[in-house]
Structures are given as C-alpha cells and as structure tokens.
Amino acid sequence: MKKFLKAVFAALLAMSLFSCKSMIANKLGDAASGSDKKGAAIPKKADSPDMMMAFMGEKDPQIIAEVLPVIVKMYEILALQNPSHQGLQIMAGQLNVMYGNLCVQTPAESLPVAELEKQVSEFNRAKYHYLKGRQYILDVFESRWPGFEKAFLSSDEEAVKEAVSHLTKDDVNAAYWAGGASLIAWSLDPLDVDALSSIQGPVALLEKAVSLDPNYSNGAIWDALCQFYTAAPVDFGGDYERGLECYEKALKASGGKAPGIYITYAQSVCKPSGDRDGFIENLNKALAINPDDDPKNRLMCVLNQQKAQCLLDHVDDYFVVW
C-alpha cells in the first residue's frame, strides 16, 4: 500500500511540475508574442509598456537589420519549445517575413545591373524566408481548421472561399502576414507555376482580412491588394479598377500618413502609365511625412522613405524623355 501511495504521489508531483512548466512556458510565450496561446492579441493596459516600440519605433533601420537575424532565431527556438502556442508560431512567421524584406530583398533591389546574378540569388533567399514565414502561420490555421492549407494552396475557388470563411477579427494580423508573404514571394518569381496556380488563396485571405478590419495597420492590407490587382494579369486575378479602389481605401485608412501607399501609387499606377509628374509628386508626398507623427510605425516610415528617395534618384531610369 505504501509503495502504491508513493507511486501516486510521484505521479501527481510530476504532473504538477509539468503543469507548472507548461504554465511558465505559456506565460513566456504570451509576453514574447503579445498574443495568447490561441493566437489572439492580448489587450494592453493603458499604462503598460509596449515592447514592440523598441523595434517598430526605431529610426535607424541599420541597427534593426543587424539584430533582426538573432531575434528571428530566438523566436524560432521559443516556437520549437512551445509548438502549441499559436501566438509564438505567428510571431516566428511574421519575423521571417520581415527579415526577408528588410535584410534580404531591400538591399538586393539597390544592386547595380552588373550584379544581376547576385540580385537573383538574394531574391531567392528572400522568397525562401517569405514562404517559411507563411508556413508557420499556415500551420496555425491548419491546426484550427483541418484542410485549410490544402484549400489555400489550391486553385479551387469554392474551397478557398470556404477555408477563409473561418477567419475572425483576431486572425487579421496573421492573415495579413501569410497573404502578404505569398504575394511578395510571387512578385519575385512571377513564373513560378506553383505560385501561379495557388494565387487565389492569398488574395482571398487578404480580402477576407480587410473585410474584418478595414483600418488594419493604417491601410496595409488595402495597400497590398492594390499592388496585386494593378500588377497581375487579368487571367490570374488582376483587376486594375479594383486596384485603384483599394488605393483610395488605403489612403483613407491611413489618413495620408503612410508613405508606402504613395510609393505603391507611384510604382503601380504612375510608372506603367508613363506619368512622370505623378510619379515624382507621389514620392515627394511620401518623403514629406514626419516619421515621428506615428511612433508605432516609425521604422516602416523611415524604410519606405529611403525607398522613395532611391526611386526619385533613379527617375530617369523609368521614364523616357523625348
């Protein structure tokens, strides 16, 4: 009897320690990701500090670029240690997409023509991180709604529609990063057959997300949709008029304070139509925004303004002057 009681006590102690360890891991995951175990954002108290301000509020992109690889790996380790914490999985995905954009694609875009081979190689690296980041988020959606990933990556319009119908407003952030990662990966390799055959999923995901939260991140989803609709061939979902509509909604959601939206219009509308004056005008509007007006998005503002200046510096490369 004593042996039995000891065994029961040992089992209960082990269960208690495991429960405590899991609770600590989940609390750490909550704090690190800003989301709970189910991936829903944790409401912040008015007087509580926002840890992301140290990242998104930075004015010097270089310091972020230098530390971001370490941050990405740190979150991937946390995600591996607690695979059931959906907030951590989503954050690991989001950070991979950010790394691909800030540390790989953006520097590659400024490479001269003489380094075309290197540029293509870097674009492939960026695509890898976009798809890796997307996979983290698709795994979360798949765990919630079995069959989601297969439908998302298919060309079955009805299956895609059914899959994205499950989303709620709590899923908008994850949907933005997964959908956006898919489209930007496709833009780097538009002849990718797999990407072309599954383009409906990302677009439907973003359309569903923007219907749930039209003002998300100062119109970021509208901006992404504008870029797609104005650039994609009609046979693959392109819709120029819808793209212009998305631009107007992005502008309204941002209050004209997001430089990326002006850059999108310059590149997606003015450049293809040969509107040099409109191109310059919109890039100057992007440069006129004060990054300090929106501290939570200061980093993105500075990055976009650097891009706007680079485009202005090379305006003669995009327009033929007769």
Percent of the chain with pLDDT over 70: 84
pTM: 0.86
What residue ranges in the chain does DSSP mark as E strands? none
pLDDT at 46: 60
**Measured between alpha carbons, how far is 94 from 179 in angstroms, rounded to an integer?**
11
pLDDT band at 37 (very low <50, low <70, confident <90, very high): low
pLDDT at 290: 94
Choose between 172 and 29: higher pLDDT: 172
Which are the contacts of 214, defined by CB distance < 8 A and separation ≥ 6? Answer: 221, 222, 249, 253
pLDDT at 40: 62
Note whether 253 and 215 are within 8 A (CB). yes
* 53-92 as b/e: b if 16+ CB within 10 A: eeebbeeebeebbeebeeebeebbebbeebeebbbbbbbb
pLDDT at 5: 46
* pLDDT digit string, tens, across residues 38-81: 656 656 666 666 667 777 888 888 998 899 999 999 999 999 99
Note whether 101 and 184 are within 8 A (CB). yes
**Measured between alpha carbons, how far is 181 from 105 in angstroms, rounded to an integer?**
12
pLDDT at 161: 95
**Measured between alpha carbons, how far is 59 from 56 in angstroms, rounded to an integer?**
8
Q: What is the mean pLDDT of the chain?
A: 86
**Measured between alpha carbons, how far is 220 from 56 in angstroms, rounded to an integer?**
15
Note whether 123 and 189 are within 8 A (CB). yes
- Give me the mean pLDDT over the 169-176 stretch: 96
Give the count of beta carbons closer than 10 Å to the beta carbon of residue 315.
15
- Give me the mean pLDDT over the 140-166 stretch: 95
pLDDT at 235: 85
- Give me the mean pLDDT over the 84-99 stretch: 94
Which are the contacts of 93, defined by CB distance < 8 A and separation ≥ 6? Answer: 132, 133, 134, 135, 136, 137, 174, 177, 178, 181
Q: Which of 41-55, 236-250, 270-284 has the lowest average pLDDT? A: 41-55
Note whether 137 and 93 are within 8 A (CB). yes
Task: State the burial class of residue 287 (Cβ atoms within 10 Å of its Cβ: 0-12, 13-18, 19+).
Answer: middle
Let me know the angle formed at the C-alpha of 12 by 7 and 16, rounded to the nearest 5 degrees. 150
**Measured between alpha carbons, how far is 152 from 204 in angstroms, rounded to an integer?**
9
- Give me the mean pLDDT over the 121-142 stretch: 96
Percent of the chain with pLDDT over 90: 66
- Give me the mean pLDDT over the 228-253 stretch: 93
Tokens standing for 204?
């439907």
* pLDDT digit string, tens, across residues 184-238: 999 998 877 777 778 899 999 999 999 999 999 999 999 999 999 999 888 888 8
